């Protein structure tokens, strides 16, 4: 039987608790793992003096697969977001965020099954920014004003949105390959090409070129604002959505809200031959160390990892066990209870115990 080398990054805040719950659930499937425990975020800053230690990156490059808890980004100048930096360092160009209704999780919506595919490396997250009032900003603005009819106010702060043909082709191909492999019927290209004619115009054009190679999958496109409204009005008409970075960040949280919030929303960051799975939620510092955080999002990220490894049977076991425990509703964390009463809820590790019992049942 295969033993999978996996880099395990517990992260900060509630991270270590939900990561431990996830490790136990994944092992309960019978799949064998050789965990390489590594630090990132505040835990790494304390121990190694840097937010993303080289040894953590090297471990993921070697194992090719990581599972990560949330990290706290320290507030203050000079700190990049750990997650953005990790995605850039490892070339994790595709962010995969499925939003699927779990019976028993409170939500205004029901029967949601939408997958957001977000470009992870460029767009508004290129990291090319110029602060207001700085000499280099004045230089950039002067050059823009020389080249462009529309003048930029010299007091402006500037962020550069970058969209390349190559990156768009990659993310669109990823979305269509995902759709085909997972028997999804439709891909919607989301953009704002009516206003951002060059950047989003390029995204739409290239994504449509890719779409032409997948005649078995229906394609349409939506302008981002209309997309948000339509998700509220007729979510059943949408299947896989592909979009640039910032739109994907926002729409995937919207979809997470439609299936009951951050506590149940998993995610994966996928590159060429390397992938890191992580819940969408943050480190929720106010819940840290209290054994009360909901482990579902990270456990479902673990199920996504199992699918990625080709362990489909084990992934389904985990997903069904999570659904069963939440469906019964007695051994769930406080946030999954209608009354949100912590005295009637169980803790993180007890919810994991219930999921493990359901796997073994
Ligand atoms: P957050 O996701 O930590 O918390 C938002 C709200 O959701 C809080 O009320 C929190 O209590 C609740 N919540 C989140 N996950 C939960 C869970 N599993 N169980 C129960 N309740 C849960 O977002 P935030 O407060 O904006 O950020 C806190 C820290 O996390 C910041 O430092 C931020 O930079 C970081 N962050 C990290 C990631 C990541 O590592 N992927 C993502 C988002 C935020």
Residue pLDDT, tens place only, 51-95? 899 999 999 999 999 999 999 877 766 667 888 889 999 999 999
Expressed in angstroms and rounded, the spacing between residue 158 Cα and the centre of ligand 1 is 28
- pLDDT at 1 (0 to 100): 76
For residue 293, what are its two tokens? 């955080």
φ and ψ of 136, to 5 deg: -65, -30
Of the candidates 86, 107, 103, 123, which has an alpha carbon nearest to the alpha carbon of residue 271? Answer: 86
- pLDDT at 125 (0 to 100): 85
Burial class (CB in 10 A: 0-12, 13-18, 19+), 201: middle
Expressed in angstroms and rounded, the spacing between residue 13 Cα and the centre of ligand 1 is 9
Instruction: Give the closest residue (by CA) to ligand 1 atom 12.
Output: 284
- pLDDT at 126 (0 to 100): 83
Tens-digit pLDDT profile for residues 144-154: 999 999 999 99
- pLDDT at 46 (0 to 100): 84
**Which of helix, strand or coil describes residue 301?**
helix
Looking at the chain, the whole-number percentage of residues with pLDDT higher than 70 is 99
To the nearest 10°, report the CA torsion of 350, 355, 356, 361.
130
- pLDDT at 76 (0 to 100): 64
CB of 294 closer than 6 angstroms to any ligand 1 atom: yes
Q: How many CB atoms lie within 10 A of CB 171?
A: 28
For residue 113, what are its two tokens? 């099954």
Please compute the mean of the pLDDT values over residues 335-345 and round it to a whole number. 89
d(Cα 231, Cα 170) in Å, to the nearest integer?
25
Instruction: Give the closest residue (by CA) to ligand 1 atom 37.
Output: 282
Please compute the mean of the pLDDT values over residues 19-48 and round it to a whole number. 95
| CA 212 and chain centroid, separation | 27
Residues tagged active-site: 125, 192, 225, 249
Query: With 80 as the cut, is the pLDDT of residue 171 above it?
Result: yes
**Which of helix, strand or coil describes residue 327?**
helix
**Residues contacting residue 299 through CB under 8 Å, at least 6 positions apart:** 18, 21, 22, 25, 318, 322, 352, 355
pLDDT-based confidence at residue 227 (cuts at 50, 70, 90): very high
The DSSP code for 104 is: T
- Please identify, by atom number, the ligand 1 atom nearest to the C-alpha of residue 72: 32
Lowest mean pLDDT among 72-76, 171-175, 194-198: 72-76
- pLDDT at 78 (0 to 100): 63
Instruction: Give the closest residue (by CA) to ligand 1 atom 27.
Output: 282
Q: Using an 8 Å Cβ cutoff, are 86 and 92 in contact? A: yes
Please compute the mean of the pLDDT values over residues 248-256 and round it to a whole number. 95
Expressed in angstroms and rounded, the spacing between residue 279 Cα and the centre of ligand 1 is 10
Whole-model pTM: value is 0.94
């Amino acid at each position: 039987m295969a033993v999978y080398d996996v880099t395990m990054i517990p992260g900060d805040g509630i991270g270590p608790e939900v990561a431990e719950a996830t490790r136990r659930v994944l092992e309960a499937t019978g799949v064998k793992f050789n965990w390489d425990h590594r630090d990132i975020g505040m835990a790494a800053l304390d121990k190694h003096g840097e937010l993303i230690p080289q040894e953590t990156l090297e471990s993921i490059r070697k194992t090719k697969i990581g599972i990560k808890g949330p990290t706290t980004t320290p507030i203050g100048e000079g700190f990049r977001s750990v997650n953005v930096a990790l995605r850039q360092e490892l070339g994790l160009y595709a962010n995969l965020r499925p939003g699927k209704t779990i019976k028993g999780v409170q939500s205004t919506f029901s029967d949601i099954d939408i997958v957001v595919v977000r470009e992870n490396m460029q767009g508004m997250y290129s990291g090319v920014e110029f602060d207001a009032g700085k000499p280099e900003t004045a230089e950039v603005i002067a050059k823009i004003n020389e080249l462009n009819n529309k003048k930029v106010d010299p007091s402006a702060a500037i962020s550069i949105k970058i969209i390349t043909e190559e990156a768009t082709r990659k993310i669109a191909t990823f979305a269509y390959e995902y759709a085909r492999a997972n028997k999804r019927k439709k891909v919607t290209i989301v953009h704002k090409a009516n206003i951002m004619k060059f950047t989003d115009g390029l995204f739409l054009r290239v994504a449509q070129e890719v779409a032409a190679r997948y005649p078995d999958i229906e394609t349409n496109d939506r302008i981002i604002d209309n997309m948000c409204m339509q998700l509220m009005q007729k979510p059943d008409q949408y299947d896989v959505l592909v979009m640039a970075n910032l739109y994907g960040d926002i729409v995937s949280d919207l979809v997470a809200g439609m299936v009951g919030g951050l506590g149940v929303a998993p995610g994966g960051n996928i590159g060429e031959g390397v992938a890191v799975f992580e819940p969408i939620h943050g480190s929720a510092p106010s819940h840290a160390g209290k054994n009360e955080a909901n482990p579902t999002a990270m456990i479902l990220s673990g199920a996504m990892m199992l699918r990625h490894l080709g362990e489909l049977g084990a992934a389904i076991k985990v997903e069904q066990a999570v659904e069963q425990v939440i469906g019964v509703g007695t051994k769930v964390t406080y946030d999954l209870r209608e009354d949100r009463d912590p005295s009637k809820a169980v803790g993180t590790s007890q919810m994991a115990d219930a999921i493990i019992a359901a796997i073994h049942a």
